[in-house]
Amino acid sequence: MRHVTLSLLLFVLGCAAAQQAAPKWLNDAQGAVQAAQAAGADQIPAAQDALAKANQALSKAKGTLNPMQGTLATSQADLAKNLTTEAKSKANLQTAMDTLTWVKAQ
Residue ranges binding another protein (CB under 8 A): 50, 53, 68-69, 71-72, 75-76, 78-79, 82-83, 85-86, 88-90, 92-93, 95-100, 102-104, 106
| Residue nearer to another protein on the CB measure, 42 or 78 | 78
| 15 Cβ neighbours under 8 A, 6+ residues apart | none
**Between residues 7 and 99, which has the closer beta carbon with respect to another protein?**
99
Q: Which is nearer to another protein, 12 or 93 (CB)?
A: 93
Q: How far is the CB of 81 from another protein (least distance, A)?
A: 9
CB closer to another protein, 4 vs 103:
103
Contacts of residue 65, defined as CB under 8 A and 6 or more positions apart, other chains included, come to 23, 26
Shortest reach from residue 6's CB to another protein, in Å: 43
- CA 93 – CA 106 distance, rounded (Å): 20
Give least dist CB 22 to another protein, A.
20
